[in-house]
Amino acid sequence: MSAPSPIVQSSVFQQFYALTKPRVIQLIVFCALIGMVLAVPGMPSWAQVQVALVACLGIWLVAGAAAAFNCIVEKGIDAKMKRTAWRPTAKGELGNRQTLLFSAALCGVGSSLLYFWVNPLTMWLTFATFIGYAVVYTVILKPLTPQNIVIGGASGAMPPVLGWAALTNNVGPEALILFLIIFLWTPPHFWALALYRVEDYRKSGLPMLPVTHGNEFTRLMVLLYTFILFAACLLPYVYGMSGWIYLVAAVVLSFGFCLYAYWLWRDYSDELARKTFRFSLIHLSALFAALLVDHYVLG
Domains observed in the chain: 10-170 (1.10.357.140), 172-299 (1.20.120)
- Phi (first) and psi of residue 11, to 5 degrees: -70, 160
What are 162-218's pLDDT values in tens digits?
999 999 999 999 999 999 999 999 999 999 999 999 998 898 888 999 999 999 999
Provide the pLDDT confidence category of residue 9 given band limits of 50, 70 and 90.
low
Question: Which residue from 277, 86, 84 is spatially nearest to 194, judged by alpha carbons?
Answer: 277
Provide the pLDDT confidence category of residue 5 given band limits of 50, 70 and 90.
very low
Q: Cα 130 vs. chain centroid, distance in angstroms? A: 12
Report the pLDDT averaged over residues 265-277: 97
Question: Which residue from 93, 100, 63 is spatially nearest to 79, judged by alpha carbons?
Answer: 93
CA distance 147 to 218: 11
- Provide the whole-model pTM: 0.91
Provide the pLDDT confidence category of residue 6 given band limits of 50, 70 and 90.
very low
Question: Which residue from 232, 230, 238 is spatially nearest to 259, judged by alpha carbons?
Answer: 230
Q: Cα 262 vs. chain centroid, distance in angstroms? A: 24
